[in-house]
Structure 1
């Protein structure tokens, strides 16, 4: 990482530390995700890198390069200074329908592109949507799968309150339609300020939440005033049978989605990202990246853990935003209602 200098630590999570770095020559800011080398570097790390590397879209965080250090593998990414959508909602409370629509249009634009590239995200949530001014960008492809490179999804993976009913089955499912469900949860939270399938008496009980998801048991509170078109779209997303659930293509032609759709999000403007000749200029080859990931699975022979270096990348500033290592619930006050969610770890 000799080309970069540390600015501050951004967050610390279950898999490692994310740091804000500055390129010494260009002075551009980047976010660098550090994961300790060793046997914890699994197949999903290579999958995350390879899938993210194949995406180039204004509503997806840009992938830059992978760097191997003596103790870590580092993924260099575009930096979004506005934090994540979770904090945005927590700080402001639920947002108006027009703003939620604009945000949702951007999210769907990014997800649509992922699906065009045959990649399903499988962990779409507020924390994985970053804010850059008024622009939203999807990040964290750690649970993603490519239909071109991998088998169809069948594992129960993701963040519990965003998981589609079919994911609980343990059988193969369509990851793209599961992503649609997660987008619906994000839309609902933006509008209501709470999760759609929380149990009113005990929303910390995962079994109760799962049962409510399976039964598609949700409601729009009376104090939330949204249009019939919006309610219709939500009802077509929250459908237990994925074969009957609205698709991304159908969402993009829904009247609520089309209202006030800005020029750059219309199909005509988006077409440039879907052209085959719009090839991505790769800084590293597939072979180079796989070699780096394979080397990261072991520590170099000269490395010897000591009391001073055994802990990966201790925080060096007071600006760290800690993420709980457990999956326990966090309660955030949003004024007239509360948003309860699980931060940090996915399952």
Structure 2
């Protein structure tokens, strides 16, 4: 590849401007994305305009391919989309000199991929082994982008973490797909199958991220129960701590407004039988729960030991979080800082998780 700025690697018209687009590579040695991404790239820039002697310059990431056709294929695919979850392609070209058998694609600048979020020791989980808010936002970007692809007849037949670019935007990050193709087959069954396989591949990407009941349940629901599209984002493992707390507050309000009259029940609650459909019949069944060690027991006085009372107690603890989370409680233990949601989840699983699911299904707003 000729790295002399006077000799561009290749050129092509783009869909953004009328005129010439030229790709320039600063260094002919391919760079590796930040660990642990396996993707290689070139630092480069493109010049856009219709006067070659005075072109506007834009810094880009240049991806190289082993044949002269692949760059154009990816460019044509990307040119069909204007979506925040799909990377922008500026130009494609064929190399010069010893790279004349290679093609190149200039896209929005990025230096890492989603691979770093798909490792058990990676960036996807916090100290409590929950998905981080950043991971949840990036995963949301991927899901929304895949739905856009499907709506236009495209899919990701070889979905891999390196096919998802991580773009820095100020203090935040966004995930953008850059590699996908046109769905093959013209029957409704073939198209539906291609889309369904995409969601299975997505589930396969996250299986090794963390080993918790939450993440395992997400994986099983995607791969075994057909959870697809933006419905995936409603899974409790992809809710932030704030969203989980808001769910409990909304659920308690829903119960107090719509299921007002407590019933006298002699039976005990069986947590595994609880669901949205059985909420009302289980609400006043007896239920005894362990009080978190740092919760003042006087706040529990007068609380009826039923599921209704348990939901009310959760609301009380969340609303008065500052009272309970003392500096002593929050101090580091074995290198881990534990928060209120961590204690609630550890102490009251699986009932706490089931209540989250019910709140999501009710589509309650805080």
TM score, norm. by length of structure 2: 0.44
TM score, norm. by length of structure 1: 0.46
Q: Which has the higher contact order (CA 8 A, sep 6+)?
A: 1
